[in-house]
């Protein structure tokens, strides 16, 4: 029997989050029945102080229950490497880890034992895709990791969200996923449309002359025609609305809008060329 106060946690513990409600329930059970299954510890360099090997959840609950002593098995043959591996395997085999914690444990196990995805999958009885998806989760940006923490069932979404470079657009898509307004199929279609649109834009930009016109603020342009001013303001407002609402459109509407804008490009180029030629002729006159 060892006092919980004389046990310190494993600093290499892969598990980062413990559900407070679940710990309180376990603590109440320990107050009534005591701790039946011993935890596993190993000695430290400090006399009478031990390091936790397995059973951190039970140890934390025992502290909440204010138990004076708890049963423990002392294993003095564990090296640091074996301790880390044992903690990894114990946590990986738990059912209530979130995908980010699983991915961190998988990645650590792969590094520790120089394993491939296939090796980890075979060792744990998981599919290769299961292991890859969770390791990928540890490699994406913080906003995508937070999405997985908030909605573990959205793990597959991050593969497509990670392709969206624009932070504002990605934030809008993440919000839609969190609100359950964007299914995986809709997100996949949207990102595929976005990739096509980006490819079209890149092709168009490469075909245009390299000379860049001087940037002019819309509000600073002197306009002689009130009709033209109103038309320009309406067009500007329309494009702003499309930019704000594009991510929330249905797939069919996004396809239609994408086709419409693509067809506008050559028309706009003709107008730009015509205006440019007209301006040059007036300058020469």
**CA dist., res. 2 & res. 185, Å (int):** 54
Question: Tens digit of pLDDT for each residue in 216-248?
Answer: 344 555 555 666 777 777 787 777 777 777 766
- Dihedral sign of CA atoms 120, 126, 132, 138 in order: negative
**pLDDT < 50 stretches in the chain:** 212-218
User: Which residue in the block uniquely carries the two structure tokens 């205006």?
Assistant: 275
Q: CA 53: distance to chain centroid? A: 30
Query: Does 95 qualify as catalytic in the annotation?
Result: no
Q: How many CA atoms lie within 13 A of 145 on its CB side?
A: 13
- Token digits of residue 203: 């092709």
- State residue 187 phi and psi, 5-degree precision: -65, -45
**Number of neighbours of residue 278 by Cβ within 10 angstroms:** 10
What pLDDT sits at residue 214? 40
| Active-site residue (options: 25, 45, 56, 284) | 56
Q: Which long-range contacts (CB under 8 A, 24 or more apart) does 101-104 make?
A: 101/14, 101/15, 101/16, 101/17, 102/134, 103/133, 103/134, 103/135, 103/136, 103/137, 103/138, 104/14, 104/16, 104/138
- Please, what are the domains in the chain? 4-78 (3.90.1530.30), 84-185 (1.10.10.2830)
């Amino acid at each position: 029997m060892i006092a919980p106060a004389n046990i310190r946690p494993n600093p290499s513990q892969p598990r980062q989050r413990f559900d407070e409600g679940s710990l309180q329930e376990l603590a109440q059970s320990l107050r009534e029945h005591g701790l039946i299954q011993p935890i596993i510890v190993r000695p430290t360099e400090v006399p009478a102080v031990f390091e936790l090997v397995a059973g951190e959840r039970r140890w934390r609950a025992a502290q909440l229950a204010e138990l004076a002593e708890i049963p423990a098995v002392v294993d003095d043959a564990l090296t640091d490497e074996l301790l880390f591996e044992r903690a990894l395997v114990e946590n990986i085999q738990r059912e209530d880890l979130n995908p980010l914690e699983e991915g961190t444990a998988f990645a650590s196990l792969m590094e520790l034992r120089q394993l491939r995805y296939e090796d980890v999958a075979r060792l744990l009885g998981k599919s290769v895709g299961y292991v890859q998806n969770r390791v990928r989760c540890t490699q994406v940006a913080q906003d995508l990791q937070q999405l997985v923490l908030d909605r573990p069932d959205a793990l597959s979404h991050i593969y497509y969200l990670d392709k969206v470079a624009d932070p504002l657009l990605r934030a809008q898509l993440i919000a839609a996923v969190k609100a359950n307004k964007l299914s995986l199929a809709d997100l996949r279609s949207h990102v595929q449309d976005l990739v096509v649109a980006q490819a079209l834009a890149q092709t168009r930009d490469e075909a245009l002359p390299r000379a860049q016109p001087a940037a002019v603020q819309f509000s600073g342009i002197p306009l002689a025609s009130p009709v033209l001013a109103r038309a320009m303001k309406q067009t500007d407002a329309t494009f702003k609305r499309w930019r704000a609402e594009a991510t929330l459109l249905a797939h069919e509407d996004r396809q239609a809008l994408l086709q419409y804008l693509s067809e506008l490009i050559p028309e706009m180029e003709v107008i730009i060329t015509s205006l440019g030629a007209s301006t040059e002729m007036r300058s020469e006159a």
